[in-house]
Structure 1
Amino acid sequence: MKDWSSHHYLKVFIFILVPMLLLIDKNESYDLQNQLSPYLFWGMLLFSILLAVMVAKSVEKRTQMRLRQLKEELDSLRNTGKPLSVADDHFGEIAQSVNDINENLSNKQRINKAILDSIPLGIIFYDDQGKVMYVNQKAYEITGYTKEEIERFTVKGNILNHSEYVFWKTLHSGESFFGFESFCPTKDGREIPVMTSTKPLYDSESKQMIGIISTFIDISEQNRLRKVEQHAKVMLDHISDGVITVDNFGVINGFNRGAEEMTGFKTEEVLGKYYDDVFIKRKTIFTKLTQTLRSGREYSNYKKEMIDVSGEKVFLMITTRILRNEQGKQIGAMGIYKDITLMVELEQQIQRAEKLAVVGELAAGTAHEIRNPLTTIKGFIQVFENELKDNDKKQYIHLVLDEINRINEIIKEMLLLANPSDSFKKWMQINQIIKETITFMSAEGAMYNVELVTDLQEELPLVFIDEGQIKQVFVNMIRNAIQAMKKGGIMEIASLYNPIQQRIEVIFTDHGEGIPEEQLPRVYEPFYTTKHDGTGLGIPVSFRIMKNHDGDLQIFSTQGEGTKVVLFFPIQTDDSFIDGQE
């Protein structure tokens, strides 16, 4: 028999029952029994009622079956994503609507997942109990774990070690944390350093916290680069040369300790600033770097003189280079500034020594040729002096003898310049020699209205020197200072111990006319003098004596303000004594 559907039964029921109801009309004057037999009437009515009950039961049964089917399909949809079956009934319309909604949601979920997987951060979503609910693709790549393995983790387990406190504080208080470092263990047993942030998530309607989002990024490479950068900075800071780097816009991004000492700026003061803005007042020295940056022209060993932050004159050797990345693209420029002041001074000293040697040899030969006949002349004049009775004429003899003695003194200095006499060195107190020299030079100072004042450091180490030669140096320095102070005044003589350089410094300071800057390098040259009665041998001879004592003589002068002469005496701590006692 054909299996009729419920709506077929409903049609039969309506076909039989409706005509019967139409026959029953209360306004009619005859009875229904006169139209139909009673049995037929009640039979049809009973059949219609039974048929209606059967239809209702069938509809209920099919509805329950359809509901069970929908429930099963909804479970399948939730687990597998399989769409609901669509039948030709009202439930089919509902199923189609659910499928449409599910497809729309699936598309949005795929887009959201694609977005989350494309983010270069590991993202983990925990529910309000701390259970892992979602992990994006980058988190899988960083950890090496599979989705199933990570989904079994809890915050107390394998993900983001050492961050449990932050996690639970976020979960319990709703407080967010950003940019703290922790470690993420990987499947192969490593612990990767990561930068982590945690943030609570709230339901948009109930405003209840539903979990937290934890993001992390692998900073292994950043840490490695940071260590490389720190290592490079340590190396650069231990280089005495100044090194400055700028980017393509001229912004300073590198500044080592040597540059700090050379310029007087601290690294934190200049980083991130435009190079030209920082060194606008020193364009003659530091514009080579910006010229290289703009024109591409590199400089090698470019020498320049400048005044440093302490006001001292220094000589720099400048080298500039274009900086390029691995692809050869320009990324900035670098300037290297080497302080060659000591090298320049050494070259000058060598030049002076060579001049002294040449002039000394010439002077020695000339002095011997002059000294011999001069001795004869002096002897005969002394004979004439003894035989001469006229006292008025004797004064001319005395004048001649004084000039001959002055010539002899000049010859002695010329011989000393050529080859200093044999030294008789011994351990001595430098302050004692200063005091003795001042004792017999005070009278000469008084003649020029110059007062000699001392500032001597006590308990200086002993120095190994020739007393006679060092006294001659002191006399030359004091005499030059007295003669330079034409208006009189105070001349200071100081001594001090420099423990860093392991030397004693004796400083002569006058407040005279000073030496013009262009003449200052020439004062070391033999026979160069600006005094009408000078010989030009005092400073060269003194310089030669100091060099023979492994010391040095340096002159600093400002025209119109005065001159400072510094003598350097090296000491040997193992062999030197203080106050003459072992």
Structure 2
Amino acid sequence: MKDFNTYIRKSKDDCKNILGMSPDEIPFLKVGLTKEQLQHRQQTYRKVLAIVNEFMKKLIEYMNGIPTLIVTTDDKGYVLEIFGDSSIKKMVDSLGITIGVKFDEKDVGTNSVSLALKYGEPIGLIGDDHFHDVLAGVACYSAPFSYSDNDKLAGTVSIMTLVEYANQFHLGLLSSAVDTIEGEIRLQEQNNKLHLLNQVLINSAPLGIVMTDMNREILEYNPGAADIIGLTKEEIKQKGITSLSEINKYIDKVLSNGNKIENMEVTVKDYKERTDKVCLLDVLPLYDSFQQTIGAFAQFRDMTNYYELQKQVIQSEKLSAIGKLGAGLAHEIRNPLTSIIGLTQLLKENNEQNKYLEIITDELERMKSLVNQFVLLGKPTKLHKTNSNIPRLISDTVELMNSNAQLNDIEIDFISDIPDLYIFVDESQIKQVLINFIKNAFEAMPDGGRLIINLEVNHEKKELAISISDEGKGMTEKEIESLGTPFFTTKESGLGMGLPICFDIIKAHNGTIDVESEKGVGTTIYLILPFHNIPERKRKNG
């Protein structure tokens, strides 16, 4: 560091010999920013000015009644902020030192602002150190500050007081304050960058992200989480963390024991679609600088479509294998069965053997039916669609099954406020599906009960839903997952072929079958069929 006197002496020589100034002249700052330019500069420095003002106001309090004026400039010497003692401010106003003007040696002579900017070091001018006599009654201390990565000069902070209060301690105090200001500016810049990066990563991530504090208050909830949960950030904060289903349970565990949880399969409620989604969940504890747990970070990925696709692939492989096996099985068994059935008809002429032949015939017919169903399962379902009245189709099926229901002490109720609803379906196949599920419901209620069939239309999704609800024994989750798999059955005498055919028929109509069941409570089957343009009622002729 050079001696301050060297800087001051050279500046004074330049003012006298190069700039042609006289000490007894009254200086006046001439160069200034326009109103628009000043607003632009202040906007650019707004964060810096806020930090400088906060720290320098504390410094004024620390100086314990010493009249002090604080001046902040940019890297060119333009004044961006002035505050402090009113008497000193009145004096500098008379010299044209106001917000927006430029500290320039050719206008104001030797001054601490210009020297600090020129040499990049803190500097103090006391009394006669100034070139002009009018400034001999003040002491000025200036320190440059910078905050960018390459330490490019960003401006100065200055203290101005009366000469009788001058003390070199003021320069050290100012330098320390500026060092603190620089550190705070850099810290805020770094925090802003990290916050921006954090927001970009969180908001663009295809994952659901939730962060909480130790009180289970939600601190962060990204768009990915909103898509999966079906609630906006405002809605989730109103409902609270308990609305996050199983995720909440695992966040509680992590906050309680501090152990991370990874790749946990959870079921999450989608409030918008009113469905459940399967997600893979990770929950990590968040720590402060003392390694104390301060919250939890949860990320979860919607795996519903993946698992659905996985099930479809497995089902497809099973059906493909069955189809290949079925072709050979049909060829080897169907023809001999036909011959045997024919021969048994001839043997029936012997009355003594009729009883045994009837049994043989029944069993062979049953085997033939099994083979036919097996072949049907392996083939694409062929449809003969007609414009069908669905409420009427259901009513006819219910009427057909009523006698059987009465024998089993079962009451069938068909609930629908839709008198006519026409869509293109294969009536016989849809009726086959309805009969199959109604029969299954009967068998699930051996002691009788109530069977409810409901028809609803969702015009927004362009689909109708036929639900069949029983009060039977219900099924486990594992049994539900196995429905539609060939040869799977919960019946002692069942073949396990009926439901796969039902699934094929509905699939051929581009529909789906959903199942809800609870052990000991009952089962509801949903047959979902799509439509395009449904006339509300079929017009009558005449």
The TM-score normalised by the length of structure 2 is 0.57
The within-5 A match list for 1:391-410 is 394-410=354-370
Q: Is the aligned partner of 1:367 residue 2:323? A: no
Task: Identify if the C-alpha distance between structure 1 residues 360 and 554 changes in structure 2 by more than 3 Å, giving closer, same or farther.
Answer: farther
Query: Which residue in the other structure is 1:99 paired with?
Result: none
The one-letter code matched in structure 1 to 2:278 is F
Secondary structure (helix, strand or coil) at the match of 1:483 reads: helix
Query: Which residue in the other structure is 2:463 paired with?
Result: 503
Query: Which residue in the other structure is 2:69 paired with?
Result: 113
- C-alpha distance in structure 2 between counterparts of 1:449 and 1:245, whole Å: 56
What is the root-mean-square deviation of aligned Cα atoms in Å?
Answer: 5.1
1:443-501 deviation digits (Å, cap 9, x = unpaired): 22222111211112416754332222222111111111110011211111111112333
How far the C-alpha of 1:384 sits from its partner, in A, is 2.6
User: Highest Rg: 1 or 2?
Assistant: 1
1:119-140 deviation digits (Å, cap 9, x = unpaired): xx96779x9xxxx97999xxx9
The one-letter code matched in structure 1 to 2:482 is R
Query: Which residue in the other structure is 2:267 paired with?
Result: 306
Task: Identify if the C-alpha distance between structure 1 residues 442 and 368 changes in structure 2 by more than 3 Å, giving closer, same or farther.
Answer: farther
Q: Is the aligned partner of 1:455 residue 2:415? A: yes
Query: Which residue in the other structure is 2:209 paired with?
Result: 243
- C-alpha distance in structure 2 between counterparts of 1:335 and 1:578, whole Å: 48
- C-alpha distance in structure 2 between counterparts of 1:281 and 1:421, whole Å: 40
Query: Which residue in the other structure is 1:433 paired with?
Result: 393
Q: Is the aligned partner of 1:552 residue 2:512? A: yes
Task: Identify if the C-alpha distance between structure 1 residues 322 and 381 changes in structure 2 by more than 3 Å, giving closer, same or farther.
Answer: same
The within-5 A match list for 1:284-363 is 285-286=250-251, 302-306=263-267, 308=269, 314-318=277-281, 334-363=297-326
Task: Identify if the C-alpha distance between structure 1 residues 565 and 274 changes in structure 2 by more than 3 Å, giving closer, same or farther.
Answer: closer
- C-alpha distance in structure 2 between counterparts of 1:110 and 1:572, whole Å: 85
How far the C-alpha of 1:357 sits from its partner, in A, is 2.2
Q: 1:486 aligns with which of 436, 446, 452?
A: 446
Would you say the 8 A contact 2:473–2:521 is kept in 1? yes
- C-alpha distance in structure 1 between counterparts of 2:465 and 2:384, whole Å: 21
- C-alpha distance in structure 2 between counterparts of 1:507 and 1:313, whole Å: 19
Query: Which residue in the other structure is 2:100 paired with?
Result: 144
The one-letter code matched in structure 1 to 2:69 is K
Which piece of structure 1 moves more, 395-404 or 354-363? 395-404
How far the C-alpha of 1:298 sits from its partner, in A, is 9.3
Secondary structure (helix, strand or coil) at the match of 1:355 reads: helix
Secondary structure (helix, strand or coil) at the match of 2:487 reads: coil
- C-alpha distance in structure 2 between counterparts of 1:540 and 1:408, whole Å: 18
Would you say the 8 A contact 1:288–1:320 is kept in 2? no
Q: 2:429 aligns with which of 456, 469, 474?
A: 469
How far the C-alpha of 1:348 sits from its partner, in A, is 1.2
Secondary structure (helix, strand or coil) at the match of 1:526 reads: coil
Task: Identify if the C-alpha distance between structure 1 residues 578 and 353 changes in structure 2 by more than 3 Å, giving closer, same or farther.
Answer: farther
Q: Is the aligned partner of 1:577 residue 2:510? A: no
- C-alpha distance in structure 1 between counterparts of 2:67 and 2:246, whole Å: 58
1:222-258 deviation digits (Å, cap 9, x = unpaired): 9xx8xx98x969x94x988532135799864212465
Secondary structure (helix, strand or coil) at the match of 1:308 reads: strand
Query: Which residue in the other structure is 1:67 paired with?
Result: none
Q: Which runs of 5+ in 1 are unaligned?
A: 1-78, 81-106, 148-220, 325-329
- C-alpha distance in structure 2 between counterparts of 1:284 and 1:512, whole Å: 32
- C-alpha distance in structure 2 between counterparts of 1:265 and 1:307, whole Å: 12
- C-alpha distance in structure 1 between counterparts of 2:317 and 2:92, whole Å: 81
1:75-133 deviation digits (Å, cap 9, x = unpaired): xxxx99xxxxxxxxxxxxxxxxxxxxxxxxxx97654435x979xx96779x9xxxx97
The within-5 A match list for 1:110-259 is 110-114=66-70, 144=100, 236=203, 241-246=207-212, 252-256=218-222, 259=225
Task: Identify if the C-alpha distance between structure 1 residues 463 and 524 changes in structure 2 by more than 3 Å, giving closer, same or farther.
Answer: same
Q: 1:541 aligns with which of 497, 501, 517?
A: 501
How far the C-alpha of 1:309 sits from its partner, in A, is 7.7
The TM-score normalised by the length of structure 1 is 0.53
Would you say the 8 A contact 1:546–1:553 is kept in 2? yes
Task: Identify if the C-alpha distance between structure 1 residues 337 and 483 changes in structure 2 by more than 3 Å, giving closer, same or farther.
Answer: same
- C-alpha distance in structure 1 between counterparts of 2:216 and 2:101, whole Å: 46
Query: Which residue in the other structure is 1:530 paired with?
Result: 490
Task: Identify if the C-alpha distance between structure 1 residues 264 and 364 changes in structure 2 by more than 3 Å, giving closer, same or farther.
Answer: same
- C-alpha distance in structure 2 between counterparts of 1:497 and 1:274, whole Å: 33
Secondary structure (helix, strand or coil) at the match of 1:550 reads: coil
Secondary structure (helix, strand or coil) at the match of 1:410 reads: helix
1:288-330 deviation digits (Å, cap 9, x = unpaired): 9769x967x795xx25033638896531023568999xxxxx9
Would you say the 8 A contact 2:245–2:268 is kept in 1? no
How far the C-alpha of 1:344 sits from its partner, in A, is 1.2
How far the C-alpha of 1:422 sits from its partner, in A, is 2.8
How far the C-alpha of 1:359 sits from its partner, in A, is 1.9
- C-alpha distance in structure 2 between counterparts of 1:274 and 1:571, whole Å: 39
Would you say the 8 A contact 2:255–2:295 is kept in 1? no
- C-alpha distance in structure 2 between counterparts of 1:290 and 1:374, whole Å: 68
Would you say the 8 A contact 2:246–2:266 is kept in 1? no
The one-letter code matched in structure 1 to 2:385 is K
Q: Number of residue pairs matched? A: 379
- C-alpha distance in structure 2 between counterparts of 1:580 and 1:135, whole Å: 93
Task: Identify if the C-alpha distance between structure 1 residues 419 and 145 changes in structure 2 by more than 3 Å, giving closer, same or farther.
Answer: same
Highest RCO, 1 vs 2 (Cα 8 Å, sep ≥ 6)? 2
Would you say the 8 A contact 1:255–1:271 is kept in 2? no
Task: Identify if the C-alpha distance between structure 1 residues 250 and 492 changes in structure 2 by more than 3 Å, giving closer, same or farther.
Answer: closer
Query: Which residue in the other structure is 1:49 paired with?
Result: none
How far the C-alpha of 1:361 sits from its partner, in A, is 2.6
Would you say the 8 A contact 1:462–1:571 is kept in 2? no
Would you say the 8 A contact 1:289–1:335 is kept in 2? no
Would you say the 8 A contact 1:460–1:496 is kept in 2? no
1:257-305 deviation digits (Å, cap 9, x = unpaired): 6546766987458769998x998975664469769x967x795xx2503
Q: 2:384 aligns with which of 424, 428, 445?
A: 424
Percent identity over paired residues: 27
1:347-372 deviation digits (Å, cap 9, x = unpaired): 21221222122123323421332221
The one-letter code matched in structure 1 to 2:364 is I
The one-letter code matched in structure 1 to 2:323 is G
The one-letter code matched in structure 2 to 1:305 is V
Would you say the 8 A contact 2:474–2:521 is kept in 1? yes
